[in-house]
Amino acid sequence: MNKQTTTNASQWNKFRHLFKQQEIPAKTTLLQEGQISRTMFFIDKGCLRTWVNNDGKEITTQFFFEGDIVSSIESFRTNQPSLYSIESLEPCILQTISQKDFQKIIENSPEVKKEMEDHLFRRLFQCQQLLYTFLKNNPQKRYEELIERHPHIVQRIPQHYIASYLGITSVSLSRIRNRK
Amino acid sequence: MNKQTTTNASQWNKFRHLFKQQEIPAKTTLLQEGQISRTMFFIDKGCLRTWVNNDGKEITTQFFFEGDIVSSIESFRTNQPSLYSIESLEPCILQTISQKDFQKIIENSPEVKKEMEDHLFRRLFQCQQLLYTFLKNNPQKRYEELIERHPHIVQRIPQHYIASYLGITSVSLSRIRNRK
DNA sequence: TTCATTTCTTTACAATTGTTATCGTTCAGC
DNA sequence: GCTGAACGATAACAATTGTAAAGAAATGAA
């Protein structure tokens, strides 16, 4: 979800007083895997990632940048433990809102509620497409697709995070890069 | 979603007259990739699969059995082309309902509407977990997990469908099976 | 039953990836 | 600027997977 591209940006402004600004350094954990999400983050500056633990190895599942809204939305909505952690990759400036206050907004703004439902559909769509790139392509093709579709990720994020995001080791990604 | 386990099974019965029974042989295409979904299927008997085309090769993305509700839900709701095809793997008896009639049910039953929203969250959750098994595990582990979590799939579905569902070739799956 | 189709296994070879370790380079904080 | 940590490239070897082809086994329809 993206504040800027929102059809009703003014809707958000009505509730601006409910947000708190927060500055954090790089590598700060905002939500730990297994915990219940009680906060939602809007990124003003910097970038975040979500990751899962796999036998001590971190596997990155998503990247977020300026304008993105980040939360374990399933956990936030259903009060179930989050499947993943949320962490900053750079020093960040965030706008945060609590679950309670966000609930208030939802109740008072059908536009925002509608937007959340659409957001959910988009999330499902994105998740499906990501899954399909794993079913369809080998690591090399997945990397090429990433460069094509999300060049800003490749430019901005350290390679070993990208490697785990592609489901391969950093060694293998390094080989793929030097193959062409 | 599952009719049987529904908290409000009686809700569905109220609208029974809107469903049509349909008998189809195996390998019947119910929805083609790129088309817009206008029908929803409840499986009384048999099983279906969804699949995507990848350079002429079919890749299975999901299996469905008795009691399951099947549709390209994103396409059904948003009127956008479906990312995948839906096809029968066995002769099936289905209960079908049109998009229009289903809309009527949604409008007349808050319970069913709520159920659909929950269904959407579950779909997202499932999709995420499936994606994570690709990020976390190699093909052998994915196969072992499938046996553990969904033994009925392994027992009922021909292996080459399962292979593409796991993201590998049928040759590789055969090797994995004979490894242990 | 019989025949054709589908499904599964096996083989040999090439290509890719994982693992482990080492070695420069770059970066961030003091 | 200095220093330690983070990052990326490379090498060698083992293990896994893909590809193509051939054949055995199972299945289903006439």
The pLDDT tens digits for A137-168 are 999 999 999 999 999 999 999 999 999 999 99
Structure tokens at B99: 């998009």
C strand bases under 7 Å from protein CB: 6-12, 16-21, 28-29
pLDDT of residue A20 exceeding 80: yes
Alpha carbon dihedral B170, B171, B174, B179, in 10-degree steps, equals -140
CB distance B82 to B37 below 8 Å: yes
Q: What is the pLDDT of residue A3?
A: 46
The amino acid sitting at B100 is K
Residues 64-123 of A with CB under 7 A from strand C: 91
What is the DSSP code string of chain A?
A: -BSTT-TTHHHHHTTGGG-EEEEE-TT-EEE-TTSBP-EEEEEEES-EEEEEEETTEEEEEEEE-TTBEE--HHHHHH--B-SSEEEESS-EEEEEEEHHHHHHHHHH-HHHHHHHHHHHHHHHHHHHHHHHHHHH--HHHHHHHHHHH-HHHHHHS-HHHHHHHHTS-HHHHHHHHTT-
pLDDT tens figures, A103-125: 889 888 888 888 888 888 888 88
Residue A145 contacts by C-beta under 8 Å, 6 or more apart in sequence? Answer: A133, A137
Nucleotide of closest approach to B158 (CA, C1'): C7
In A, minimum Cα distance to B118 occurs at: A78
Hunting for tokens 């595990």 — which residue is that? B137
Find the range with the poorest average confidence among B15-19, B74-78, B144-148.
B74-78
Higher pLDDT, A95 or B1: A95
Mean pLDDT of A63-75: 89
Mean pLDDT on B103-127: 86
- pLDDT band of B122, cuts 50, 70, 90: confident
Write down the pLDDT at residue A6. Answer: 45
Q: Which two tokens stand for residue A145?
A: 């697709």
**For residue B176, how many other CB atoms are within 10 A of its CB?**
19
CA quadruple B58, A118, B37, B125: dihedral positive or negative? positive
pLDDT tens across B134-171, in order? 999 999 999 999 999 999 999 999 999 999 999 999 99
Mean pLDDT of chain A: 88
Task: Output the CA torsion sign for A25, A26, A27, A28.
Answer: positive
The pLDDT of residue A5: 46
Cross-chain Cβ contact B123/A123 below 8 Å: no
Residues 112-171 of A with CB under 7 A from strand C: 138-140, 167-169, 171
Distances (CA, A) of A15 to A82, A98, A105, A165, B86: 26, 12, 7, 35, 44
Residues 141-170 of B with CB under 7 A from strand D: 167-169
State percent of chain B over pLDDT 90: 62
Query: In chain B, which residues have their Cβ closer than 8 Å to the Cβ of A172?
Result: none
Q: Between chains, do A132 and B167 touch, taking CB under 8 Å as contact?
A: no
Task: Report the 10 Å Cβ neighbour count for A139.
Answer: 17
pLDDT at A2 over 60: no
Q: Is the pLDDT of residue B3 over 60?
A: no
Q: Cβ–Cβ of A136/B74 closer than 8 Å?
A: no
CA angle A26-A27-A33, nearest 5°?
Answer: 145
User: Which of B33, B28, B40 shows the shortest CA–CA distance to B3?
Assistant: B40
Asked if residue A4 has pLDDT above 70, the reply is no
> What is the pLDDT averaged over residues A170-178?
95
Buried b (16+ CB within 10 A) or exposed e, B68-99: bbbbbbbbbbeeeebbbbbbbbeebebbbbeb
For residue B163, the surrounding DSSP H or E stretch is helix B159-166
If one compares B11 and B57, the residue with the highest pLDDT of the two is B57
What is the reported pLDDT for B4? 45
Nucleotide nearest A177, CA–C1', reads D9
Q: B76 to chain A: nearest residue by CA? A: A121
Residue of higher predicted confidence among A126 and A60: A60
Asked if pLDDT for residue B51 goes beyond 60, the answer is: yes
**Averaged pLDDT for residues B82-94:** 93
Residue A160 CA, nucleotide D8 C1', distance (Å): 9
* Gap between the Cα atoms of B171 and B153, Å rounded: 19
Question: Closest residue of A to B168, CA-based?
Answer: A135
The CA distance from A16 to A3, in Å, is 12
pLDDT digits (tens, 9 = 90+) for A34-49: 999 999 999 999 999 9
End-to-end CA distance of chain A: 35
Which chain A residues are within 8 Å of B164, Cβ to Cβ? Answer: 135
Distance CA B100, CA B109 (A): 14
